[in-house]
Structure 1
Amino acid sequence: MRNLSEATAENVEYMIEEIKMKLRMASGAAMQASNFDIARYEDIKDIYDIIASKDKFSISEVEALVSEIGQLRK
């Protein structure tokens, strides 16, 4: 398992890729790790933790999570 306790660009990239995969985002190409500021690391990790803890999501949950992620972009 990856150590996500450090706020690094590599960890942001890893979490964003995992979020895209888990949510099966059709518009995943629009969500590049480079679009996120390392200063928002804890917020990104909070969303990652929520997504990592569940196997399935309702449509409304996906929409809410994608909206939250969108607000974290630069």
Structure 2
Amino acid sequence: MDLTLKSDENIDFMIESIKNKLQLVNRDILKASSFSTERYDELHDIYKMVNKMPSFSIRDMEAILEELRALRND
């Protein structure tokens, strides 16, 4: 998968990957349909950062989720 291409499919892949990495219990708080390709680069940066981190504190998770909330369309 080429994540340099801005597409809804890539957004879906990155959101699912972030949810898995953060081990979210309430997976419905992040929906790929809430993100647009207009903010793709910021989402891609968060995706890369999350995948580099070996583990997350509660504060890390809260900060990541807050950044993702700021990128949503709704």
TM-score interval, smaller chain? over 0.9
- Listed one character per residue, the Cα deviations across residues 6-44 of structure 1 (whole Å, up to 9, x for unaligned) are 001100000000001101112211211001111010010
Q: Which residue of 2 aligns with 1:48?
A: 47
Give the count of matched residue pairs.
73
Q: Distance in 2 between matches of 1:30 and 1:57?
A: 18
1:30 corresponds to: 29
Structure 1, unaligned runs of 5 or more? none
CA distance in 1, matches of 2:2, 2:32: 18
Distance 1:49 1:4 in 2: 10
Deviation at 1:47, TM superposition (A): 0.3
The one-letter code of the counterpart of 1:38 is T
Aligned residues: CA RMSD: 0.9
SS in 2 for 1:56: coil
Question: Which amino acid is 2:22 matched to?
Answer: L
Identical-pair percentage: 36
Gaps of 5+ in 2: none
Aligned partner of 1:14 in structure 2 is: 13
- 1-structure distance, mates of 2:41, 2:71: 11
